[in-house]
């Protein structure tokens, strides 16, 4: 992280970039929040997908790119914002073509989000805006945070029995809202699968299911499995949209707020 | 031996069924598991036993019986030991029917839309195979026709899943081509059971006619076998069983090849003895494969077809070699 920041510092020394292109869903969000009018030329096509984009309305105001070096280069950007999971080939090719590419690391801690805001702010020459957003984020998170002595045990359950363990943003979101994460109890360090049998045996107080996407898939059938339905009938349950959980950006506050509502509802019988 | 075979096979299936109920990643003790299954006293254990493990074990029996019986029946009718639902594209076409129903939303239109669509896919494949290879076609024609039907069905299944708006659909191509029983529910048992039972009934009633057919079509006709009727019932019986099995478990290959091959020397060449034995043997084989995937990679969804192919493909090659040696 420190090394990455140092790398950006070098890039920022010059005048602020005027033609910025973002090719990653998460950098899209940060760029749209912070960029000066006219500074951001294009966002990734994923930001136009209502299933995963939290800032859909804003994103619809920007032309999309598909993250391919050729189309990005044609926009003649002086800065490209990419994510850690952006194809290394694309990043390498753009750099060889002389385009400045900043690769933003994936954030697995809520504390890392203000840092990300400041980093993108520095890259765009919008330090003041970034500082304001970072302060707002920290204040809102502190206001939402639940510490209650009774921490209900929650299970995150996504397609293919995927769940998130201790070192993940989803775990931090759960904990901030005052829940304990059963995947961490089961010993999962990061993201991974937890067999449905094991999840049922852990008897969570709350099941938080991933959203269902259009079309059909066997992977998502586990979300409606009778055993999971039985767990949901027993206690509170929520189906949460994935969009707010994906990116280490202030969008996660939406997820925290929704979970806090579930927590408060569970507390008042 | 023949008289003892069915009870022995049934005992084997009963033992494997119990093992299937007792083995799983939750690591419950056998006593707790059975108590929860029967009495339903503790919520978590009961959910695991009744909603997760029981449907899985029941489906392994149903799917295995369907594939074993369908294989033996096709081999009896075509008088060719290589005729297996997976190899000749019947399972693949059933998977295509199921995938089309799921992705177009037709599967949700009414209760049995999914297995019926898979059945329709299987009917098309069986008819194509009979048309291309027929009772008089040799092994080579049968296998070539099977390759063509399988390849087309597989390609179309991939196409449909790649076109799906669902982000998970394309990664499920391997499920439809290899089969799995992970996290199935009682709903799937209820969808498949009626069609598999009906298909079994139809095929078992044709056992005598298939016996007569071993003497040749003319001899069978002179013995009072109505050949057109036999063909129709065979197509419907095989399609019904393979279609329903594939709709809930994906295409699991080689079961219908391995099981009749192993049992044929024990029961003699008579289809009437081979059909019921193959049904029970198929159930045993799929139960074994499904237990093995849980023991080998308990946290991952290893596909059943991988294991059945590891056993079946070498046997298939051996059979081809033998067929070639006989100059067919």
Look at domain B56-325 and name its CATH class. Answer: mainly alpha
Residue of B53, B167, B183 lying closest to A213 (CB–CB): B167
A211 touches chain B (CB under 8 A): no
Of the residues A157, A163, A193, A216, the best mutation for testing chain B's interface (the one with the most B CB atoms within 10 Å of its CB) is A216
Q: What is the pLDDT of residues B195-228, one digit of tens each?
A: 999 999 999 999 999 999 988 888 999 999 998 8
Summarize the confidence of residues B295-323 as an average pLDDT: 88
Q: Which residues in chain A have their CB less than 8 angstroms from residue B25's CB?
A: 195, 197-198
Summarize the confidence of residues A23-39 as an average pLDDT: 94
Query: Does A195 contact B185 at a Cβ distance shorter than 8 Å?
Result: no
Looking at residue A246, its pLDDT comes to 86
Query: Does A216 contact B164 at a Cβ distance shorter than 8 Å?
Result: yes
Can you spell out the DSSP letters for B98-130? Answer: HHHHHHHTGGGTSTTHHHHHHHHHHHHHHHHHH
Looking at residue A269, its pLDDT comes to 53
Question: How long, in residues, is chain B?
Answer: 328
A214 touches chain B (CB under 8 A): yes
Helices A2-12 & A112-124, crossing angle to 10 degrees? 20
Q: Which residues in chain A have their CB less than 8 angstroms from residue B48's CB?
A: 197, 200-201, 227
pLDDT-derived band at A8 (thresholds 50, 70, 90) equals low
User: pLDDT averaged over chain B?
Assistant: 92
How many angstroms separate the CA atoms of B308 and B71, rounded? Answer: 14
Looking at residue B324, its pLDDT comes to 76
Looking at residue A205, its pLDDT comes to 87
Q: What is the pLDDT of residues B163-203, one digit of tens each?
A: 998 989 988 999 999 999 999 999 999 999 999 999 999 99
End-to-end Cα distance, chain B: 31
Domain borders along chain B are 56-325
Q: What is the pLDDT of residues B127-166, one digit of tens each?
A: 999 888 876 677 788 888 999 999 999 999 999 999 998 9
| For chain A, percent of residues with pLDDT exceeding 70 | 91
Q: For residue B27, give the chain A residue with the closest CA.
A: A198
The answer to which of A27-31, A222-226, A230-234, B69-73 has the lowest mean pLDDT is A230-234
Q: What is the pLDDT of residues A65-120, one digit of tens each?
A: 999 999 999 999 999 999 988 888 999 999 999 999 999 988 889 999 999 999 99
Asked if domains A2-141 and A153-267 share a fold, the reply is yes
Query: Does A218 contact B52 at a Cβ distance shorter than 8 Å?
Result: no
Domain borders along chain A are 2-141, 153-267
CATH no. for A153-267: 3.40.50.1980
Chain A nearest-CA distance from B196, in A, is 21
Beta-carbon contacts of B325 under 8 Å, excluding residues fewer than 6 positions away, are none
The answer to which of A14-18, B4-8, B256-260, B264-268 has the lowest mean pLDDT is A14-18
Q: Are B282 and B65 in contact (CB under 8 A)?
A: yes
Q: Are A34 and A79 in contact (CB under 8 A)?
A: no
pLDDT-derived band at B68 (thresholds 50, 70, 90) equals very high
A-B Cβ pairs (cutoff 8 Å, strict):
85
How many angstroms separate the CA atoms of A31 and A16, rounded? Answer: 13
Residue of A213, A227, A234 lying closest to B52 (CB–CB): A227
Q: Are B191 and B248 in contact (CB under 8 A)?
A: yes
How many angstroms separate the CA atoms of B165 and B107, rounded? Answer: 16
Tracing tokens 């996290």 back to the chain, one arrives at B183
Summarize the confidence of residues B302-311 as an average pLDDT: 92
For chain B, give the longest Cα–Cα distance. Answer: 63
| B103 phi, psi to nearest 5 deg | -80, -25
Q: For residue B163, give the chain A residue with the closest CA.
A: A215
Q: For residue B106, give the chain A residue with the closest CA.
A: A216
pLDDT-derived band at A1 (thresholds 50, 70, 90) equals very low
Looking at residue B216, its pLDDT comes to 87
* B328: enclosing H helix or E strand: none
Looking at residue B175, its pLDDT comes to 93
Q: State the complex-level ipTM.
A: 0.85
Looking at residue A4, its pLDDT comes to 52
Does the structural domain A2-141 have CATH classification 3.40.50.1980?
yes
Looking at residue B109, its pLDDT comes to 86
């Amino acid at each position: 992280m420190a090394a990455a920041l140092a790398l950006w510092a070098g890039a920022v020394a010059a005048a602020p970039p005027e033609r910025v292109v973002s090719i990653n869903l998460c950098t899209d969000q940060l760029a749209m929040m912070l960029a000066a009018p006219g500074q951001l030329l294009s966002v990734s096509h994923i930001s136009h997908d209502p299933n995963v984009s939290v800032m859909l309305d804003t994103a619809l105001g920007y032309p999309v790119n598909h993250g391919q070096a050729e189309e990005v280069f044609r926009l003649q950007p002086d800065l490209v914002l990419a994510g850690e999971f952006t194809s290394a080939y694309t990043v390498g090719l753009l750099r060889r073509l002389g385009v400045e590419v900043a690769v933003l690391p994936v954030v697995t801690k809520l504390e890392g989000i203000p840092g990300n805001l400041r980093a993108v702010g520095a890259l765009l020459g919008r330090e003041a805006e970034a500082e304001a957003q970072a302060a707002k984020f920290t204040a809102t998170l502190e206001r939402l945070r639940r510490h209650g002595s009774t921490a209900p045990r929650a299970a995150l359950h996504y397609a293919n029995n995927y769940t998130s363990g201790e070192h993940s943003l989803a775990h931090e979101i759960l904990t901030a809202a005052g829940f304990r994460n059963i995947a961490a109890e089961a010993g999962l360090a990061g993201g991974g699968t937890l067999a449905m049998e094991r999840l049922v045996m852990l008897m969570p107080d709350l099941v938080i299911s991933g959203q269902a996407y259009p079309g059909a898939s066997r992977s998502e059938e586990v979300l409606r499995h009778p055993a999971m339905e039985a767990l949901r009938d027993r206690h509170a349950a929520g189906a949460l949209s994935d969009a707010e959980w994906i990116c280490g950006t202030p969008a996660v506050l939406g997820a925290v707020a929704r979970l806090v509502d579930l927590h408060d509802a569970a507390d008042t019988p | 031996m023949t008289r003892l075979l069915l009870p022995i096979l049934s005992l084997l299936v009963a033992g494997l069924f119990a093992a299937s109920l007792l083995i799983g990643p939750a690591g419950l003790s056998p006593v707790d598991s059975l108590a929860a299954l029967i009495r339903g006293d503790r919520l978590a254990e009961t959910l695991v036993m009744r909603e997760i493990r029981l449907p899985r074990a029941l489906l392994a029996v149903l799917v295995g019986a369907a594939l074993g019986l369908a294989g033996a029946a096709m081999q009896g009718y075509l008088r060719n030991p290589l005729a297996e639902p997976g190899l000749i594209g019947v399972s693949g076409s059933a998977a295509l029917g199921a995938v089309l129903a799921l992705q177009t939303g037709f599967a949700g239109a009414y209760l049995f839309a999914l297995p019926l669509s898979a059945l329709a896919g299987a009917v098309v494949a069986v008819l194509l195979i009979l048309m291309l290879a027929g009772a008089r076609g040799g092994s080579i024609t049968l296998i070539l026709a099977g390759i063509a039907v399988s390849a087309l069905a597989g390609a179309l299944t991939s196409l449909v899943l790649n076109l799906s708006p669902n982000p998970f659909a394309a990664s499920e191509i391997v499920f439809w081509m290899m089969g799995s029983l992970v996290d199935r529910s009682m709903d799937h048992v209820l969808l498949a059971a009626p069609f598999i039972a009906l298909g079994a009934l139809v095929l078992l009633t044709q056992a005598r006619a298939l016996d007569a057919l071993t003497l040749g079509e003319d001899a069978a006709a002179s013995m009072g076998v109505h050949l057109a009727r036999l063909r129709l019932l065979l197509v419907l019986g095989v399609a019904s069983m393979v279609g329903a099995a594939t709709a809930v478990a994906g295409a699991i290959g080689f079961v219908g090849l391995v099981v009749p091959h192993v049992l044929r020397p024990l029961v003699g060449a008579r289809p009437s003895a081979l059909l019921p034995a193959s049904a029970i043997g198929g159930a045993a084989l799929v139960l074994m494969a499904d237990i093995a995937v849980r023991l080998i990679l308990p946290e991952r969804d290893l596909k059943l077809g991988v294991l059945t192919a590891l056993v079946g493909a070498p046997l298939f090659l051996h059979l081809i070699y033998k067929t070639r040696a006989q100059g067919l």
